[in-house]
Structure formats: structure tokens, C-alpha cells
Structure 1
């Protein structure tokens, strides 16, 4: 590959990842906006059922049905389950926490990838990156403010564990992907994950779709997970359709960005999701992070970018070129 081709692919990959981050931020905003009236598993089913239709159309453009064949179905299933856990925990947090805070806490995922690469991949991580990881986790502590009482935070402390669980699950998924080195087309990757989302959401519907478990609950995250399915009211049906189309856009653009350019080049631009989350939080809910929260966000952002740039300098990308983002 020539230098000119490499430069072109890098520019294209950056452009596509920025489109993906805009779509992801819009997706998160819509889910938080709808979280007061609909269950999470209904939204997940709707967006994945619509999204998989668009993804199957893209499959035809990228080679036909044959590209859906795989020699590692168990790996696809495991990856899909981990992404589902990452999504569900992230979206459950959105029901109780501001969009910007939830997004910022999730962005400790690259730091967790660095830590997990030591025992799983046997990589050596130097003191500079270890220091950056520590700084990032200090940012998480500042944002969760464990020294405050419940009334001084947006939600109980355990709710803040949900985006941390999301980040950990996503990081573990990425490390396994890197270790196993799977190769698939972008549209096929999207279909695999959306299929797992559909199966899991149908399982939730079978167990809790009638809302039998929400009586007497006051935790917004649990209510969001277990509320009964209802038909979308008024213009909400168009928002559900938008979620589905957006799901296909996210699934394809993320996989395509990491297929076209090195992860070390593309990954730092995922942090564009942070200012977008702050923007939606201000525009829709009138929320701006407090100075303390801004300090935590800055530490997480700075440490994450340092780790990515350090990896790029050492020419050892953190994740596989075929990376799949947690918010499919």
C-alpha cells in the first residue's frame, strides 16, 4: 500500500468514524428521551429489527449471502452477548444519569483495554500508560463522588456502576477480538450483533414484557429495563423508526471505519462523542455538567487520548482493525 493510499484510507476512516459518533450521540439522546414511557428491551428490539433489514441490504452490496458464513459462530455469539451487556447497562444508566456523565464514564473503556491487555495478551505496559490509566480512574471517582450522600448526586452510587460495567464489558470484548483476530465484512459484523440483540430483547419480552416486575419499584433504571411493552404513541413511532435506521448506520460506519484505517488513527476521534453528549444534554434537558463533573470529564478525556496517542507512537494499536463499537 502506497503512502498516498494509506493517507486516503486514514482520512476516509476518520470521516466515517465522525459520522458514526454523530449517529451514536443521536441514538443515545433518542433512547434517553423515550426512556420515560417505553421499556429498553422494546427499543432494542425495534432498532435491531429495523437495523438488521438495512444491514442485510448492505450484505448484498458487499458480497451477498455468502459473507454471512463463518467458521467461528461461538466467537460471534460471545462478542454479541458482551456488546448486548455493554449496551443494556449503558442505556439503563441513561434513564437515571445525565447523558454527558454517562458517556464520559463509559470512555474509561480504552483504559480498561490497556489493563486487560496485560493478563490476556501478555503485553507490557509502561509507567506512562499506567499513570494515564490511574488519572482516568481518578476522573471516574471525581464524577461519581462516593464521599457525597445520595441526595447530593444525580442518582445512587450503584447506578454509576452501570456505565463502568458497560465500559468493562466493551473492553473485554475488544481484547478478545484482538486476541482471536477475526476477519469479516462490515455488514456481516452488523448483522451478527443485531441478531443477538433481537434474541436477547425477545427473551426480555417473554419474561417481563407484561410489566409484572415493576410494581412497587422506584429505581428508574430497573423500571426502564422491566416496563411493559406499549405501542408507540403519536409521533413516537417515527422516533422508533429513526432508532432502527440509525442502528444500521452505526453498525456499518463503525465497522467500516476500523476496516479502512488503523485503530490507533481512528479511535481517538471516538471522543467526539463527549462534546456531542454535552450538547444534546444542554439542548434537550437543559443540563450542563457542574465544574466538578467537568474536571472528571477532562481527566478521563485527557488520559484516554494520551493512551491512544502513546500506542500510536509505539505502533501497537490498542484494538483489532475489525473493531465493533458497544453501541450497535
Structure 2
């Protein structure tokens, strides 16, 4: 019997897939709420509220996963780098949401699972065979199809430069989740989430102290920059419920995604984040009347197909491993 040491990564792909699907579902609701509120509130105010509620939720889970002692870490620098990465990812993506359709921004952001799969090879030493690499290729083709780079008549406020923001966010997000896998060997999911929520709180408070009165917002005509820099507003009662929902989503996302990437290979579960694409299309249509062109649905089919290919391959590998183990014990 082989015992896992404190430096041996966990390997529970099925559970990791379940957690990542739950997390991505919560992310899709979170993104919809951010876009819903982006017309009247600054981004840093929404980040502050969602992080405060999410942190309270996470501290409650810390109690059940081992108490305050699990918040201690021997690798504080890596945790800080992870927080910086997720801050860049969120701020970049949410800023783009102010002017980019939800499904389009999400499609751009979904270069992240491709990058996670690839980064897991040199950073984590994970083995990615031809099946999973092929699935990544299929998913990448779907992203390209959705983005339609051959179109030259794209009209978007702020110009094409705004489309770079979700890609920057995707690169930072990919690095963050790879670090989650690396740090998750010794840290519980709730502790990982507490570090992130605390980082969000610190940055949002900093934004409030510097630009919370909206002094810089009028200097820009760009809607994304105004979203980032406008003054804090006390929400009316009907919007309070949106903010509470945003905070609850933040808590769910922080825990489930941290748990997913700490217990399963990043390259295995990353493609399942693609379920966020059809969810983004759904929310965009339901809440904002945004419906992608038919070619985009073809891209979603390729992306989801790539994720399913990874799942089927992983299931096959687990069956073979279980059979080999059973035979070896006879």
C-alpha cells in the first residue's frame, strides 16, 4: 500500500470534475450579476461586497476543515503570487464585461483552460498524453470559431483593444489555478479561498481610498474605465439582493474551484470549465437579449466536445487502473 506524503498531490479526478462544474456554474451567475450591476456601480464596490460576504462564508468552512490552524502556511510568497494572479484575472475580465457581450467575453476568457492544461506540464510535471492534447486542440478550434477573427467589421465601444482584457485575465487565471494545484498539497480549499477573498478586500479598499469618490471617472469617456473608477453608490433595496447573491456566488466559487484544482490534475479538469460557455450564452440571452451568431454555437459544440473527450479518456484510464490494482492484489 502506498501512502501519500505531505508533498504528494491528491488525485481524485471524478470529484475534481464535480467541483469544477459547480464552480463554473456559480461563476456564470457571478458574471451575469456583475454585468447586470455594471451600469450603476463601480467594479471595486462590487468586488468589496462580494469578497466580504465570501470571506465570512469561507471562515465558516475553515472551522469545519480544521480550524484557524489551517490558515498557517510555509509558502506565503506563492500564496501572494496566486492572489495577484486572480486579482488580475478578475479585474481584467470584469472591466471588459462593461462593454463586451457576456458570451463573447467568456469565449475570449476560455483560452484559460487551454493554458492550464499546457502550463501543468512544465510547472507541475503532469503527463498530458495525445488524447488530452487532442481535446485541447478541438477546444481551441472552437474558441477560434467563436471569435471569428476573419471578421473585419467588428463594432465595439473602446475598439478591439478591449478584447485583449479577457485574454490577459485568462493568462493570469491559468497561472492562478496551476498554483492552486501546487499549493493545494498542503493547504485546505477553504484556506486557499480565504487568502483570495482577503486579497480582494485589500485591493478594493485601496481603490476606494484612491478613487472611491469618483474623482477620476469623469476624465475618461471609455465605459470600461468609468466602470472601474466611478464613485461608490449606496444601493437601493432592490439591488441589495443582487449584491447578496453576488457575495454568495463568490463564496461558492472560491471554495469549489480551489477544491477542484487541489484534488485533481489541472490538465484533466480544466477542459470542463468550458461548460461556462453555453451558460454565458444562456445568461446573455435571458438577461441582456444578446444572442450569438449561429457560427458561435458551432464553436461551443467543439469546445464542449473537447471537454467530453477528456472525461471519457480519464474514465477509461481509471477503469484500467482499478482493474490492474485488483489483479495485482490476487
CA distance in 2, matches of 1:146, 1:261: 34
1:132-151 alignment, distance < 5 Å:
136-149=139-152
Query: SS at 1:235's partner residue?
Result: helix
1:279 paired with 2:282, answer: yes
Provide the residue aligned with 2:222 in structure 1: 219
How far has the Cα of 1:298 moved from its partner? Answer: 3.8
Cα 1:274/1:154, change in 2 over 3 Å: farther
**TM-score for the superposition, normalised by structure 1:** 0.80
CA RMSD of aligned residues (A): 3.1
Which of 1 and 2 has greater Rg? 2
Cα 1:135/1:57, change in 2 over 3 Å: closer
Query: SS at 2:217's partner residue?
Result: coil
Provide the residue aligned with 1:164 in structure 2: 167
Per-residue CA deviations over 1:256-279 (Å, capped at 9, x if unaligned) read 344565656654443322222111
Report the count of equivalent residues.
Answer: 308
Which of 19, 30, 42 is 2:22 aligned to? Answer: 19
CA distance in 2, matches of 1:154, 1:283: 22
- Kept in 2, the 8 Å contact 1:264–1:308? The answer is no
CA distance in 2, matches of 1:273, 1:72: 31
Provide the residue aligned with 1:43 in structure 2: 46
Unaligned runs of 5+ in 1: 2-8, 316-328
Query: SS at 1:215's partner residue?
Result: helix
CA distance in 1, matches of 2:176, 2:260: 18
- Kept in 2, the 8 Å contact 1:108–1:300? The answer is no
Provide the residue aligned with 1:93 in structure 2: 96
Cα 1:220/1:293, change in 2 over 3 Å: farther
Cα 1:65/1:156, change in 2 over 3 Å: same
How far has the Cα of 1:43 moved from its partner? Answer: 0.4
How far has the Cα of 1:160 moved from its partner? Answer: 1.3
Query: SS at 2:30's partner residue?
Result: helix
Cα 1:227/1:50, change in 2 over 3 Å: same
**TM-score for the superposition, normalised by structure 2:** 0.80
Provide the residue aligned with 1:69 in structure 2: 72
Unaligned runs of 5+ in 2: 5-11, 319-330
1:33 paired with 2:53, answer: no
